């Protein structure tokens, strides 16, 4: 495990053994199959929300500041004017986007880990996948090409994950941006992308996957993805 012989392990101190066990558990929990399972659980939870009969509309009445030019003789001044803007969203729009976005994040990271075990094998998540930017993660995967609508979903979800999908305000006023409502078209784009990414990841691990340092998946079976296989 982790390139160490049994003799090496036998001579370790308690602190070294504890650290080795923690690293091993990290790799076991980071196996590509675990990313796939998490992604599918998140998708299923999102769909439960969407299909809930109480999924009505949420109305947001927000102030919008506009600059209006006011002329006084030859003097023109700019005066802020506040108007009210009413937006309607599905009641579960934000939580659905949050769950769906995290699902895609899990799938993309799972595929990248399957391609490069070093992203987890040192007991630390690789810096190149320490991000919520779904477009950034998606562009690292050559085997899956996303449509324009799927990339639009990823762009919207990327802004929802760290900010308005979870909190009413960002960390700084410079990061304030409008909410984008989830609709049926965006949902279909998400589900289509999830299916293809999920099938790609499943195909990589169904017959087993080895981290190269001992932790491995022997085999995996999923009725969902077997039914999608060509």
DSSP sequence for 155-191:
HHHHHIIIIITT-SS-SSGGG--------HHHHHHHH
Total number of domains in the chain = 1
Q: Which domain holds residue 36?
A: 6-56+92-226
Q: Please report whether residue 189 resides in a domain.
A: yes
Q: Please report whether residue 115 resides in a domain.
A: yes
Residue 27: which pLDDT band, with cuts at 50, 70 and 90?
confident
Mean pLDDT calculated for residue range 37-45: 98
Does residue 48 register a pLDDT over 70? yes
Specify the 3-state DSSP secondary structure of 230: coil
Task: Confirm if 32 and 111 have CB atoms less than 8 A apart.
Answer: yes
Q: Say what the pLDDT of residue 90 is.
A: 76
Question: Lowest-pLDDT range, 8-22, 36-50, 85-99, 122-136?
Answer: 8-22
Q: What is the DSSP letter of 58?
A: E
In CATH, what number is assigned to the domain containing residue 191? 1.20.120.330
Q: Please report whether residue 136 resides in a domain.
A: yes
Q: Please report whether residue 152 resides in a domain.
A: yes
Mean pLDDT calculated for residue range 11-30: 75
Q: Write 164-170 long-range contacts (CB < 8 A, 24+).
A: 164/94, 165/94, 165/95, 165/97, 165/98, 165/101, 166/98
Task: Confirm if 175 and 136 have CB atoms less than 8 A apart.
Answer: no
Question: Lowest-pLDDT range, 44-58, 148-162, 184-198?
Answer: 44-58
Q: Please report whether residue 64 resides in a domain.
A: no
Q: Please report whether residue 72 resides in a domain.
A: no
Q: Name beta bridge partners: 62.
A: 85
Q: Say what the pLDDT of residue 65 is.
A: 56
Q: Please report whether residue 37 resides in a domain.
A: yes
């Amino acid at each position: 495990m982790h390139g160490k012989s049994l003799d090496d392990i036998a001579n370790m101190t308690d602190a070294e053994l504890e650290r080795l066990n923690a690293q091993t558990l990290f790799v076991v929990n980071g196996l590509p199959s675990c990313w796939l399972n998490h992604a599918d659980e998140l998708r299923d939870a999102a769909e439960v929300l969407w299909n809930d009969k109480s999924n009505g509309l949420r109305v947001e009445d927000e102030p919008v500041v506009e600059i209006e030019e006011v002329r006084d003789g030859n003097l023109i001044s700019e005066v802020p004017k506040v108007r009210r803007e009413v937006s309607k969203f599905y009641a579960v729009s934000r939580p659905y986007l949050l769950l769906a976005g995290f699902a895609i994040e899990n799938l993309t990271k799972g595929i990248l880990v399957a391609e490069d075990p070093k992203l987890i094998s040192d007991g630390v998540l690789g810096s190149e996948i320490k991000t919520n930017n779904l477009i950034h993660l998606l562009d690292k995967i050559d085997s899956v090409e996303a449509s324009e609508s799927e990339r639009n979903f990823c762009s919207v979800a990327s802004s929802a994950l760290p900010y308005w999908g979870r909190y009413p305000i960002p960390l700084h006023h410079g990061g304030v941006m409008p909410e984008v409502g989830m609709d049926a078209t965006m949902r279909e784009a998400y589900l289509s992308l999830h299916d293809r990414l999920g099938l790609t990841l499943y195909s990589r691990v169904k017959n087993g996957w080895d981290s190269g340092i001992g932790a491995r998946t022997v085999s995996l079976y999923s009725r969902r993805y077997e039914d999608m296989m060509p």
